Amino acid sequence: MCEAVEKYAKDYAKEYAENARLNSLLESIRNLMENMKLGVEQAMNVLGIEEQDREILQKRL
């Protein structure tokens, strides 16, 4: 039982960290778009966002 709880906690922490990372990137993209008048692709290029993250982030924008 303890191992199951430990695994759940680790999985939850990993998911939480990933979600926080993506939210931070989203905020950076939005700031670049607003302040620098960049398009979505340009903002992502400036930040060096990888292709797999781009797909996820574009769905959230």
Q: What is the pLDDT of residues 2-55, one digit of tens each?
A: 899 999 999 999 999 999 999 999 999 999 999 999 999 999 999 999 999 999
Please give the full DSSP string across 4-20, using - where no structure is assigned: HHHHHHHHHHHHHHHHH
Can you count the helices (H) and strands (E) in the chain?
3, 0
What pTM did the predictor assign? Answer: 0.85
Domain ranges across the chain: 21-61
- What gap in Å lies between CA 12 and CA 7, rounded to an integer? 8
Question: Residue 14: what residue type?
Answer: K
